[in-house]
Amino acid sequence: MSSINIVDTTLRDGEQAAGVVFNKEDKKCISILLDQVGVYEIEAGTPAMGSGECEALAEVLALNLTARVSTWNRANIKDIQASLDCGSRHLHISLPVSDIQIHYKLQKSRSWVIDKLQEAVIFARDAGASVTIGAEDASRADFNFLVEYAGLARELGAERLRFADTVGVLDPFKSYYIVQKLIIESGIDVEFHAHNDFAMAVANTLAGVKAGAQFASTTVLGLGERAGNCPLEMIINVFDQFMPQAVSVNHNGLGSLVSYVTSATAGVASTVFA
């Protein structure tokens, strides 16, 4: 097993937790602390949300961290241009891939999703940005369509696919099976992004990584919408126990990171796993 890279999205997905809002200083401090822990990538926000988000992102980018700093975007040119205008050159571009979300959330078709994926990735790549692709609600997607989507992303030059268990319906056994099969059939590197609706985000992330995912998506304290995401501090401890050579991080920095985020969220996250 090669080294596992941590992609932390506290500053984007974590802010979707009810009552959580990080100001610019919080975002800078959290980014510095994440960098000191040794995460591979910090997903710092969504520039399409407006000028405040762009200003915070610009200040994070100006820190010149060792960790890669990326932004989250819908698959449309306006979102992508907003990220580029803020100075971001590492873009995550996301689309729903399950029929239920394609139909009810987008009111579109599978062919529309494929067309938007191609348009968005080509635009971002032509602008000189690196691209990762999000597969929202991948756990409920038709598998053959998911493979088509992932294969096209790889052909277009995307670095990896974020497999998102958006509504938290997987168990570890299915997580392992579907991630392993997806990697084999699409040939793309996978990031596993778990939600904790059935309290299995950590177990599912471990299973996804054991199945071959090279990237683990996290938030500090498991912050996120509904029941939250996979907690950074807990999955690091789990990797230490079950895959001791998988992740190289600064464990001494975890305490300061968790303490800061706990204070910045004013007790919204009541459980600390570090």
The answer to whether the beta carbons of residues 86 and 44 sit under 8 Å apart is: no
At 247 the pLDDT is: 85
The two three-digit tokens of residue 33, written as one number: 């602390």
Residue holding tokens 């822990």?
37
In this structure, how many other beta carbons lie within 10 angstroms of the beta carbon of residue 251? Answer: 13
In this prediction the pTM is: 0.95
Q: What is the pLDDT of residues 129-144, one digit of tens each?
A: 999 999 999 999 999 9
CA–CA separation, 232 vs 123, rounded Å? 32
Of 11, 47, 45, 7, the C-alpha closest to 26 is 11
The answer to whether the beta carbons of residues 197 and 226 sit under 8 Å apart is: yes
Q: What is the pLDDT of residues 141-180, one digit of tens each?
A: 999 999 999 999 999 999 999 999 999 999 999 999 999 9
**How buried is 107 (Cβ within 10 angstroms: 0-12 exposed, 13-18 middle, 19+ buried)?**
exposed
DSSP 103: I
Q: What is the pLDDT of residues 25-47, one digit of tens each?
A: 999 999 999 999 999 999 999 99
The full set of domain ranges for the chain reads 5-264
Say which residues have a Cβ less than 8 Å from residue 33's Cβ, sequence separation at least 6. 253, 256, 257, 260
In this structure, how many other beta carbons lie within 10 angstroms of the beta carbon of residue 116? Answer: 18
The two three-digit tokens of residue 176, written as one number: 């392992």
Helix (H) or strand (E) holding 165: strand 161-165
| Mean per-residue pLDDT, 6-23 | 95
The two three-digit tokens of residue 74, written as one number: 């819908």
SS3 68: strand
CA–CA separation, 143 vs 124, rounded Å? 26
Q: Name the pLDDT band for 248 (thresholds 50, 70, 90).
A: confident
Per-residue pLDDT at 252 exceeds 50? yes
Per-residue pLDDT at 213 exceeds 50? yes
At 270 the pLDDT is: 47
Q: What is the pLDDT of residues 44-66, one digit of tens each?
A: 999 999 999 999 999 999 999 99
Residue type, 34: L
Residue holding tokens 């304290």?
221
At 73 the pLDDT is: 98
CA–CA separation, 192 vs 166, rounded Å? 11
Q: What is the pLDDT of residues 56-112, one digit of tens each?
A: 999 999 999 999 999 999 999 999 999 999 999 999 999 999 999 999 999 999 999
Q: How wide is the angle at C-alpha 176 spanned by C-alphas 132 and 168, nearest 5°?
A: 70
Per-residue pLDDT at 273 exceeds 50? no
User: Exposure pattern of 187-214 as b/e (b: 16+ CB <10 Å)?
Assistant: ebbbbbbbbbbeebbbbbbbbbbbbbbb
CATH superfamily of the 5-264 domain: Aldolase class I (3.20.20.70)
At 2 the pLDDT is: 63
Of 118, 127, 114, the C-alpha closest to 83 is 127
DSSP 128: T
Strands (E), the chain: 5-8, 41-43, 68-74, 90-96, 130-136, 161-165, 190-194, 215-218
